[in-house]
Amino acid sequence: MTLFPTLASLRAAACHPPQGDAAAAAAAEARQAVLTKPPGSLGRLEELVAWLARWQRRPAPRLQRVQVLVFAGNHGVTAQGVSPYPAAVTAQMADNFAAGGGAINALAAASGAALRVVPLRLDCPTADFTTAPAMTEAEFLDAVQQGGAAVPEGCDLLCLGEMGIGNTTAGAALAAALFGGTGWAGRGTGLDAAGVARKEAVVRAALARHAAALDDPLEVARRLGGFELAAILGATLAARRRGVPVLLDGFTATAAVAPLALLAPDGLEHAQAAHLSAEAGHRRLLTALDMTPLLDLGLRLGEASGAALAVPLLRAALACHAGMASFAEAGVAGRAA
């Protein structure tokens, strides 16, 4: 089924995201209050359970089926020398994932999550966005659709990430176009200072080329994004509709979905920033989106690695919520006054 056959239908869906279940969240919170601990003492873990309840629309949320999706795409902007690695590495890494050899294979397995890698036209990079829109409207919608279609039925949690040489430049261009300012370009896979300056100049050139169209977040995603970034946006939208909470990976994945927060103020409420990437612009991007990352481990990999790493944290939060005794059950005295 085509989720969003036209840009107008995609825009309508993004501007009016369905709400979570406030009663389910309240029920989860009410249970937190009677468990044998001072109220609020499990901090963010308590909030995470209520968040899962709200977006799974279940008072007792579960994490039986956790799906990691890694979307892969190639970028014409690599012609500008913005990555230390050749574009061929994207397809080579997709093969490596298929053979089980990537970091995300190990991390998904360690987190008890299923992994699917979705290659998007790896033999056909996007256009170099310093000279033309990265994607045509049809290409953009197709990538969004593939992202949405990859969200499995009956999934309890989705971890979203990407593989695409050059895509931290696309992420920086998206962030700069959506939130303004300079200095969004970072080291990516390991640029030196001269390389970062060249990348920043490429971002400036892209913004100048597309200046007339940058007040529309979806046009920003089409002109400056990439196939895998559009797919992450589509998967995030589809997850919202299907009652699936989302863990976002690093800078690039966050930039990919940032248009949703500008199209609807609550457009990313069903998503958490799983970690703070070492990529320069991530902290600033999360601040702009009012998101607080769950982990800060100095990762700068992508591949949904940080998202997969946060899954055990959510499992631990649920284990407390489901497994702890209440004050009444345990015969523990409540607060004196």
Instruction: Report if residue 217 touches ligand NIO, rule: CB under 6 A.
Output: no
Residue nearest to ligand RBZ (CB): 188
Amino acid identity, position 57 = R
Q: In what order do the strands lie in the sheet with 271-273?
A: 114-119, 66-72, 157-163, 246-248, 271-273
Q: Which token pair is 251?
A: 């800078």
How many other CB atoms are there within 10 angstroms of residue 153's CB atom?
7
Instruction: Report if residue 80 touches ligand RBZ, rule: CB under 6 A.
Output: no
No. of helices (H) and no. of strands (E), the chain: 14, 5
Task: State the minimum distance, in angstroms, from the CB of residue 206 to ligand NIO.
Answer: 18
Q: According to CB under 6 A, which one of 147, 251, 280, 318 is a site residue for ligand NIO?
A: 251
Catalytic residue among 200, 219, 269, 303: 303
Instruction: Report if residue 301 touches ligand RBZ, rule: CB under 6 A.
Output: yes
Instruction: Report if residue 130 touches ligand RBZ, rule: CB under 6 A.
Output: no
Q: CA–CA distance from 54 to each of 19, 154, 260 (Å)? A: 9, 16, 19
Instruction: Report if residue 228 touches ligand RBZ, rule: CB under 6 A.
Output: no
Are 317 and 323 within 8 A, CB to CB?
Answer: no
Indicate the DSSP class of residue 35: B
267 binds, among ligand RBZ, ligand NIO, none (CB under 5 to 8 A by kind): none
Three-state DSSP class for 267?
coil
Are 176 and 232 within 8 A, CB to CB?
Answer: no
250 binds, among ligand NIO, ligand RBZ, none (CB under 5 to 8 A by kind): ligand NIO
Distance of CA 156 to the CA centre of its chain: 16
Can 303 be counted among the known catalytic residues?
Answer: yes
C-alpha to C-alpha distance for 232 and 254, rounded to whole angstroms? 9
Task: State the minimum distance, in angstroms, from the CB of residue 318 to ligand RBZ.
Answer: 29
Q: According to CB under 6 A, which one of 145, 168, 236, 272 is a site residue for ligand RBZ?
A: 168
Q: According to CB under 6 A, which one of 155, 240, 302, 313 is a site residue for ligand NIO?
A: 302
* 17 vs 73 by CB, closer to ligand NIO: 73
Instruction: Report if residue 189 touches ligand RBZ, rule: CB under 6 A.
Output: yes
DSSP secondary structure of 278-303 = SSTTHHHHHHHTT---SB-------T
Binding site for ligand RBZ (CB under 6 A): 83, 85, 89, 93, 162-169, 188-189, 301-303
Residues annotated as catalytic are 303
Binding site for ligand NIO (CB under 6 A): 168, 188-189, 249-253, 277, 279, 282, 300-302
